Amino acid sequence: MVYDENPFRKGGTIKNDSVSSAPGTLEEPTYVEIIDTNPPPEFGPVEKQRHFGILRYTVANRFRKLMLIALVNLVVLVGFFLFIFFLVIHLEKKHEDIHISSTLHTYLDTTTTSAPTTQTNTTANPSDHTGCSPNQKSTFFFAYSNDFTADQVLNTWNTIPDDVKRAYETIVLGRFDLNEGFWTFVSSNCSGEIDGALLSGLPNSTESIKDPLEGSSVFSMINFFFNLDVTHCGATLFILVKRLPTDSFISDLVSMLQKYHAYVTFVVSNNSFGGSSSEPMYRLASETNGVCIFTEDDNIQETPFRLPSVWTLYLVYSFNVDVTSNGFTPLPIFSSPLVGYYHIFMTLQDHGPLDTFKMVYLRWYNAISLNSGSFEETVASHANSRNSTYTTGWHNLDAVLYDMTLQYQFLDLMLLGAGITDKSTVLERIYTQHVTFMDPEATIPPSCPILHITYRKSKTDKRQILQFSVNMLPKFLASFSPPPTRLHHSLVALSSNYRNSLFS
């Protein structure tokens, strides 16, 4: 008999005593083990299974490892992004400190010379912000080429109304196209300090560039201005150009003017020399809501009277129109914000002198506006403009939406030969006049106690210049019959009845 040696095995055995089929052969007995297959009770206790505990331990251990790996990856990722962020900030600051020049002159490392009272600073402006509001005081930059005469520059400066100069917190003078560097003067005082500095920095032929083919440094002068320690946001740049630039790269300057919401006005001589094209300056003005006009040298001193971009007005409409020989084009709708007078300005060519222009007809229309209107400029009506390439005028408008259309005629530009493209760009600008009543008791800063008003009562009278304190203004207005009832912020005395006779 064979017994089961495993004491823990449950069941029993069955003995088999059968005889072998072969006679005479003794066969060992066979035992069959019977296993107890009865299942445990349905709700009875079950033996604890140890492999589940091992599994739970393994899963928990691997989960902790995964969490640790995820935490390490997160720290590395955050550190990488912080490194990239500070690297970009560092490179931007480093780039701002670099003097960018877009001129081909050999004197790229510019210097600043001036009178003994000059204040100059080329460090970055600590309050150099870009979020200025339209009525915030800023900087007026008056720059001029050394190739003009001293009288031309001085007379132009004196024609700028004093209240326009007082509207800015800082005035900067700049002289460029020198045989070496630039001359600049910075002042926050509107008294005789600026006038004295201008007298000491007028054009001097001994400092002129000798080569008439060498290009202007006007773009470097603009870039130099944006490195001065003055407020750039909302700045007005009024620049007189005699020598054309030879370089055409203006992308950096376009970005700079757009960034600071600054407006540039180029007044270019029809008798210019240096570079072969004025197109880069015109394109710079057109891409930044600025103005670029061409005129005779003797007429430059009159431009502050006629260019609204120099006055303290608000630009409310700006559009550039590409024109060919003849055509008609709709313009974007003009949403007039206020009832009142608007100054509509338009260039007639994108180069000078005037040689391709024949006619423009601008129309603004709203069915419910009695001030819908138009103006037409032809070669005949423009004959007294002394070859200037722009037209401008005041118009009374309502606070409505106006449909704008432009009809034009130009000579076939392809017939004019090389150097002229088959299209021209016309700049259309509309400015609001800031109309207000001037308080006779208003205080004028002690450094600027005198008002200077240039006027003429009729076209036959000579233009006169008055100087008086602000409390004498009512007497001046009473000299008109009937007296004007509104005053213009930029030109001090403006009446709808006398506007053409005073300033035409």
Residue 54, domain member (yes or no): no
| Dist. CA 72–CA 67, nearest whole Å | 9
* 297 shares a domain with 227: yes
Q: Rounded mean pLDDT of 405-416?
A: 78
3-23 confidence digits (pLDDT tens): 444 444 444 544 455 444 545
Question: Cα torsion at 323, 326, 329, 334 (round to 10°)?
Answer: 70
Contacts of 64 (CB under 8 A, 6+ apart): none
Mean pLDDT over each residue of the chain, to the nearest integer: 74
* 341 shares a domain with 356: yes
What is the structure's pLDDT at 331?
Answer: 95
* 148 shares a domain with 128: yes
* 447 shares a domain with 337: no
Q: How confident is the model at residue 224 (pLDDT cuts 50, 70, 90)?
A: very high
* 200 shares a domain with 282: yes
153-207 confidence digits (pLDDT tens): 999 999 998 888 888 989 999 999 999 888 888 887 555 688 889 999 999 999 9
Between 55-64, 420-429, 460-469, the lowest mean confidence (pLDDT) is in 460-469
Q: Rounded mean pLDDT of 313-326?
A: 91
- Give the β-pairing of 424-432 and 340-347: antiparallel
What is the structure's pLDDT at 26?
Answer: 55
Residue 72, domain member (yes or no): no
Residue 167, domain member (yes or no): yes
Which of these three, 263, 288, 306, is where a domain ends? Answer: 306
Calculate what percentage of the chain has a pLDDT beyond 90.
Answer: 45
Residue 52, domain member (yes or no): no
Contacts of 18 (CB under 8 A, 6+ apart): none
What is the structure's pLDDT at 54?
Answer: 67
* 252 shares a domain with 286: yes
Residue 20, domain member (yes or no): no
> Number of structural domains, the chain?
3
**Cβ(102)–Cβ(222) under 8 Å?**
no
Which of these three, 250, 274, 306, is where a domain ends? Answer: 306
**In this structure, is the dihedral angle defined by the CA atoms of residues 84, 87, 91 and 97, taken in order, positive or negative?**
positive
Question: Which domain CATH number covers 380?
Answer: 2.60.120.380
Say whether pLDDT at 301 is over 90.
yes
* 267 shares a domain with 123: yes
31-79 confidence digits (pLDDT tens): 655 555 566 565 555 555 555 566 666 777 777 888 888 888 888 888 8
Give the residue with greater pLDDT, 332 vs 26.
332
Give the residue with greater pLDDT, 211 vs 434.
211
H helices of 203-332, in order, are 218-225, 251-259, 279-286, 303-306
Q: How confident is the model at residue 368 (pLDDT cuts 50, 70, 90)?
A: very high
Give 492's DSSP letter.
Answer: S
Which of these three, 433, 456, 488, is where a domain ends? Answer: 433
What is the structure's pLDDT at 387?
Answer: 87
Q: How confident is the model at residue 278 (pLDDT cuts 50, 70, 90)?
A: very high
| Dist. CA 156–CA 178, nearest whole Å | 20
| Dist. CA 306–CA 341, nearest whole Å | 15
What is the structure's pLDDT at 351?
Answer: 92
* 249 shares a domain with 322: no
Q: Rounded mean pLDDT of 255-267?
A: 95
465-500 confidence digits (pLDDT tens): 333 333 334 444 444 444 333 333 333 333 233 333
What is the structure's pLDDT at 4?
Answer: 46
Q: Rounded mean pLDDT of 329-346?
A: 94
Calculate what percentage of the chain has a pLDDT beyond 70.
Answer: 64
Residue 427, domain member (yes or no): yes
Say whether pLDDT at 363 is over 90.
yes
* 250 shares a domain with 117: yes
Residue 74, domain member (yes or no): no
Q: Rounded mean pLDDT of 255-270?
A: 95
Question: Which domain CATH number covers 230?
Answer: 3.40.50.410
Residue 196, domain member (yes or no): yes
* 354 shares a domain with 241: no
**Cβ(220)–Cβ(103) under 8 Å?**
yes
Using alpha carbons only, what angle is made at residue 360 by residues 356 and 361, rounded to the nearest 5 degrees? 170
* 497 shares a domain with 424: no
SS3 (DSSP) at 201: coil
What is the structure's pLDDT at 38?
Answer: 61
Say whether pLDDT at 262 is over 90.
yes
Say whether pLDDT at 84 is over 90.
no
* 250 shares a domain with 280: yes
Say whether pLDDT at 396 is over 80.
yes
What is the extent of the structural domain holding 446?
436-503
What is the structure's pLDDT at 57?
Answer: 67
| Dist. CA 431–CA 34, nearest whole Å | 111
